[in-house]
Every structure is written in C-alpha cells, then in structure tokens.
Structure 1
C-alpha cells in the first residue's frame, strides 16, 4: 500500500485529534491522579502487592476450595481490595479514568457516525453503543433476544 494525499490528510488529522485529547482537561486530570497514586511509594507498593495477590487468586481459582491456600487468599483479596477501593487517591484515579474513557467514547462515536450509521462502535457507555448490535449473546437468543 502506498501513501496517497488522502492518507496523509487522515494521518495528520488523527495526530491533531490525538494531541487535542492529550491536551484535554480530562487527560490532564487523569495524569495528575495517576501521578498522585504512583508517586506515593507506599500506595504504589500496595498496588503491586495486590497485583501479586491477584496472581495467587487466579491460581487458587483453578483448584477452588481444594487449594490449600484457598481460604487465606480469598479473605486477603477481599480485605486488600476494599482497602484500595476506599483509598481517596485511587478513587480519584478511577473517576479520572472513567471521564477520559467517556471522552474517548464520544470521539469514537462521532468518528464512527461520520462514516456510517451502521458502524458498530465499541464503548463502555451504553449511550454511545450502536443500537443495532446485540452484544456478546447473539445467536443464542440471550440478553438481546436475537437469534441466528
């Protein structure tokens, strides 16, 4: 494939849009929240410890209650997750992530609809999801009541 003038324009526009998103208020708030969490050495260590615990959790899940550490890991993951969930810095980071994701969903929706109304747009926000898509249960008559 070779670059045409149209491709150059599209690439330039995509780079311009990317820069606008990076300079947005949502991106700035996200960067500040992220830096707040990961510049706190104790909190960053807690997050990494939780990630290691999640690996243990996945191992325990493979064997279920027959795993010798099942009870300990199951209790510890709930306790640690709750502690992290209640941390104000992490809560702010999650809100900032959601706001940035909403911005990305809006941009995707605008771009997709500019191409065609039939374009399926993946989104974490149901408002921006394509009304014509059935989701993951198509063909089964599941949640969307469609059938193959």
Structure 2
C-alpha cells in the first residue's frame, strides 16, 4: 500500500478518534473499574480460583461426561464463576467493559454506515451483524428471524 495524502489523512483522523475515545467518560470509568478490581484482594482471589477451576474443566472437557469428575468439576466451575461475578468490583468492571464495548460498537457502526449500509460490522460479541436490515443469520432473510 502506497502512502498517499488520503491515506495519511485517514490515519490522522483515526488517531484523533482514538484520542477522543480514550478521553471519554466511558473509558475513564472503565479504567477506574479495572484498577479497583485489580487492587481488591478478594476480587483477585476469586478470579484466580475461577481460573484454576477452568483449568480443571479443560482437562475434564477432553473426556466429556465420561470423565469420573465431570459433574463435580462442572458444578465447581459454575459456583466459582458465580462467586466471582457477585464481587462488587468484578461486577462494576464488567458493566464498565460492556459500556466501553457499546461505545466502540456504535462508532464502528457509524463509520461503516457512512460508507455503505451493506457493510457488516462486529457487534455485541458477534462476528458479524447485517447492518442493512436483514436478519444477520446468513440465510439471506429466508428464515424469518429478522
């Protein structure tokens, strides 16, 4: 790709947009929630406990229901995730993270829509969503899920 003046202009505008996002209240709340969560010993203990149980789950998952500890490990993973999610700092971080993701999704949607309504944009954790009013499931609207 050759660096044309148009390319340089687009890169400059992208950098400005990035600075606006990193200066936003949404981003500041996200950073604060992340720092609070990282500083809280109980939150960190719960996160580590969940990660440890996930490691056990991955070992059991290879064998599925046939593993002798399958039910016990599955229950433990769900319980540790619930415990982690119920921590105030983890919950606040997840809310702030979703708000930041929503802002980034909206920006992506606006940028894509300014080019063409047919451009598909990643949104809400989905790989692609149809921005042209279709259902987004890939069936071309034939399924009726729109």
2-structure distance, mates of 1:78, 1:125: 21
2-structure distance, mates of 1:117, 1:107: 14
Contact 1:120 1:133 in 2 (8 A): no
User: How do residues 124-135 of structure 1 correspond to structure 2 at under 5 angstroms?
Assistant: 124=124, 130-135=131-136
Contact 2:57 2:74 in 1 (8 A): yes
Cα deviation code 1:12-68 (max 9, x no counterpart): 000000011011101000000011111223422321231221122122123123213
Structure 1 residue 136: Cα displacement:
4.2
1-structure distance, mates of 2:130, 2:138: 15
1:122 is paired with a residue whose SS is: strand
2:45 matched to 1:45?
A: yes
2:115 matched to 1:119?
A: no
Higher strand share: 2
TM-score normalised by length of structure 1 = 0.84
- The range that moved more, 45-54 or 112-121, is 45-54
TM-score normalised by length of structure 2 = 0.85
Structure 1 unpaired stretches of 5+: none
CA 1:143–1:85: 2 relative to 1, 3 Å: farther
Structure 2 unpaired stretches of 5+: none
Structure 1 residue 129: Cα displacement:
5.4
1:102 alignment counterpart: 102
2-structure distance, mates of 1:46, 1:111: 39
1-structure distance, mates of 2:118, 2:54: 39
Query: How many residues are aligned here?
Result: 144
Cα deviation code 1:60-101 (max 9, x no counterpart): 123123213213211211211111121111111111011101
